[in-house]
Structure 1
Amino acid sequence: MTDFPALPRAFTPEQIQFRASVRRLMESEFAPQTARWREQGFVDPAAMTRLGAEGLLLLWAEEDYGGLGLRDLRFVQVLQEETVRACGAGFFHNAHSMLVGPYLDHFATPEQKARWLPGAVSGEVILGIAMTEPDTGSDLAAIRTKAEDMGDHWRLNGAKTFISYGVTGSLFVVAAKTGTGRGQISLFLVPSDAPGFSRGQHLKKIGLHEQDTGEILFTDLRLPKDALLGQEGQGFAHMTKLLAVERLMSAITSQAHAQTAFDLTHQYLLDRRAFGKPIGAFQNSRFRMAEMRAKLDAMQAFVDACVLEANEGALSPEASAAAKYATSVLEGEVMDQCLQFHGGMGFMEETRVARMWTDARIARIYAGTNEIMLEIIGRSLGLGDPRPAKPQ
């Protein structure tokens, strides 16, 4: 495959060296395992400890907890690009490090950090986040999981679904009601070995087969008072604070996934012959590839700009929503065109582009559906519903 876009991307020498080392690791150790991971329905937990041994989990974590203290998101971007390039979008260590880990970074007490961060950095503790419930999707205010204050402990009851690392995860950030209304959601740190914790179905998806997704259940689960993460009743605000970077991670992944499909297809068009010449020599092939090249380069520039904004703490909800929306749409377009170029082989599971095509579909749904992204962008234009919101 060719490298990521030919346009200069202003990486530092350290980041370029980091990319080379990550690429070697991904290609030599993890890429050969992806077929087996997809077959069994989960990534071996040993892969996480291997990443931890290389210092590649929770790059931002401070040295006191075993981390590298790398808060420059360009390193995270490089790591995710090389993971997707070699292994695909289903090696979901980014969820552990950048979707769940930041809750500990931003809201955990020093005691909670000391207890959980070293294991998360080493990969011995696998992090998941449990927001979605069987009867709720994007409407987090409607969750039913409830945490009752019993004086000297919390009592947790409820069920969560579509949970990444629901099968192999060992510590979950759980959103639960601690009262009524939007302002009464709280977050809790729930270890999987707590009495009253159980796992439901290992859910079967149409794509991302190597990323385990499952149900988790809480039945009169007793939590110590210090299991509360952040402030009581501020769970919704805590979750909202981290959504911009979460959506940026989704955008980085979608962009890298689309770029990888383009590179694979580019090589295929050079190698595959029809009517006595490479199929890339036909005008339709040239034009479609040229269109994708232009769109990918333009989108890469936008994603890179968003990463730099996030590094400054200035990435707006609207910009992150736009990045998540636009990259996921482009990802779908690129995957569909690349599969088409592969013809009948493109519909065979043995072809990587076919697997990527199914893996890509979730990008328009997770991290907030694209319809929610359009709502965020539209309201930023002053086009919100003028009617007063209904009370929650």
Structure 2
Amino acid sequence: MDFEPSARTKDYLERLRRFMREHIEPAEARYRDEVHATCQAGDWKTWKVPAVMDELKARAKAEGLWNLFLPDEKLGAGLSTLEYAPLAEETGRSFIAPEVFNCSAPDTGNMEVLWKYGSEEQKERWLKPLLAGEIRSVFCMTEPDVASSDATNMQATAVVEGNEIVLNGSKWWSSGLGHPRAKVIIFMARTPNEQGGRHNQHSMVLVPMDTPGVTIRRMLPVYGEYDAPHGHGEVHFKDVRVPVSHFIAGPGQGFEIAQGRLGPGRIHHCMRCIGAAERALELMIDRGMARTAFGKPLLNLGGNRERVAEARVAIDQARLLTFFAAWKMDEVGALGAMTEISAIKVVAPNVLQQVVDDAIQIHGGAGVSQDTVLAGFFAQARILRIADGPDEVHKGVIARLELAKRGHSRS
């Protein structure tokens, strides 16, 4: 295996870094100010997309820095998972960069689902405008009334009645639900199948946001922040009816699709964590050398130099492990890389959380304010230790696969 970036990756990375330096970093404060001015706390109906975001997206699209995540040369950059990984890391240094390049969740995962499993009709209606950045999308999986770390607990239903699918259930932490341009939901639910096994009982269904019976109840804050104008919300489905053609790949295919969706997405999340950790470490060093206490720079006090060294080691280890997972997924697919994907999902957010925590400590009160990106990075790290499967589930997967190597069954 060779983790040296390909010529295509190097070209994109150089252009991406220049774009970030010249356009995104100078715009971050303006974006934050526009969000605070136009998005009123939890009242998502008033939320607006900051004008600076549209300006940046138009520029990125014009420069060919668009849909970099999609391994299809006609629709995206045509990069492999490993080739895209360094680009995801770079965008992770900024909260707004992934969206600027049309590479932000949940749209990336939803677009990959439609690209890989969608019908021609579904691609024309939903994938095409998503790729163009004209609309946003939502993914509804987690439920408020069950332990969603076990997806087989899911209570929401998608039942076929004639030529329609009838949907019922409650979902929450549905990312993107508050976005003014969110137009379609991918809804995962149970579709009982007496002949199928426990992993053939679920389906994914495309639901237009304005379908009767879809009711957004509220947006959910993370440590007091609503992540406007994106939002993570609670939404209820009451006798929602859509045509049977809105099944993705057919009834009972939900788990297969989920595995295909979550594998690349976890790589993207982890690489963005590494980019965020790199920026946090830079901020920690700059602050620690610029401020003095007791006659010395802060970094020369209390073991802070050791924390810098530990951060460098941890970030590099996490990056190499994520590169390995990306390489293996390209070689053998997500199912063949389950150990590695689960491992990075544990490692990367925990590394980010520790590095950011140390950086916050160096910054003192400024570290927990909105004056730096650190508080946001900490929230990102903490929520990712739950999202897409909690640490404990991924550790359980790793342990099960290790025991199987020694001939021990699931029990």
Whether these two folds match at TM > 0.5 is: yes
Which residue number in structure 1 is paired with residue 44 of structure 2?
none
Distance in 2 separating the partners of 1:34 and 1:85: 15
Distance in 2 separating the partners of 1:19 and 1:74: 13
Secondary structure, aligned partner of 1:310: helix
Whether 1:95 and 2:105 are equivalent positions in the alignment is yes
Which residue number in structure 1 is paired with residue 158 of structure 2?
147
Task: Name which of structure 1's ranges 108-117 and 318-327 shifts more when overlaid on structure 2.
Answer: 108-117
Which residue number in structure 2 is paired with residue 176 of structure 1?
189
Pairing partner for 2:248 from 211, 229, 243: 229
Distance 1:124 1:172, change over 3 A: same
Task: Name which of structure 1's ranges 16-25 and 228-237 shifts more when overlaid on structure 2.
Answer: 16-25
1:230 is displaced (CA, Å) by: 1.0
Secondary structure, aligned partner of 1:229: coil
Pairing partner for 2:136 from 126, 138, 149: 126
Q: Percent of counterpart pairs with the same letter?
A: 26
Q: Tell me, which stretches of 5 or more residues in structure 1 are unaligned?
A: 1-7
Whether 1:117 and 2:122 are equivalent positions in the alignment is no
Which residue number in structure 2 is paired with residue 80 of structure 1?
88
Q: Kindly indicate whether the alpha-carbon contact (under 8 Å) linking 1:262 and 1:338 is maintained by their aligned counterparts in 2.
A: yes
Distance in 1 separating the partners of 2:50 and 2:244: 30
1:60 is displaced (CA, Å) by: 1.8
TM-score computed with the length of structure 2 as normaliser: 0.82
The amino acid across from 1:244 in the alignment is G
Alignment of 1:64-75 (within 5 A): 67-74=75-82
1:52 is displaced (CA, Å) by: 5.4
TM-score computed with the length of structure 1 as normaliser: 0.86
The amino acid across from 1:87 in the alignment is F
Deviation above 6 Å: which 4+ runs of structure 1? 386-389
Q: Tell me, which stretches of 5 or more residues in structure 2 are unaligned?
A: 42-46
Distance 1:132 1:354, change over 3 A: closer
Which residue number in structure 1 is paired with residue 15 of structure 2?
21
Distance 1:199 1:250, change over 3 A: same
Whether 1:44 and 2:49 are equivalent positions in the alignment is yes
Alignment of 1:114-263 (within 5 A): 114-136=124-146, 137-168=148-179, 169-179=182-192, 182-206=199-223, 209-210=227-228, 211-263=230-282
The amino acid across from 1:77 in the alignment is A
1:87 is displaced (CA, Å) by: 3.2
Distance 1:80 1:33, change over 3 A: farther
Distance in 2 separating the partners of 1:220 and 1:37: 38
Distance in 1 separating the partners of 2:155 and 2:85: 35
1:323 is displaced (CA, Å) by: 0.7
Q: Kindly indicate whether the alpha-carbon contact (under 8 Å) linking 2:350 and 2:381 is maintained by their aligned counterparts in 1.
A: no
1:269 is displaced (CA, Å) by: 1.8
Distance in 1 separating the partners of 2:374 and 2:72: 38
Aligned residues: 380
Task: Name which of structure 1's ranges 122-131 and 273-282 shifts more when overlaid on structure 2.
Answer: 273-282
The amino acid across from 1:356 in the alignment is F
Distance 1:33 1:12, change over 3 A: farther
Distance in 2 separating the partners of 1:345 and 1:375: 38
Distance in 2 separating the partners of 1:295 and 1:245: 22
Distance 1:363 1:13, change over 3 A: same
Distance 1:240 1:12, change over 3 A: closer
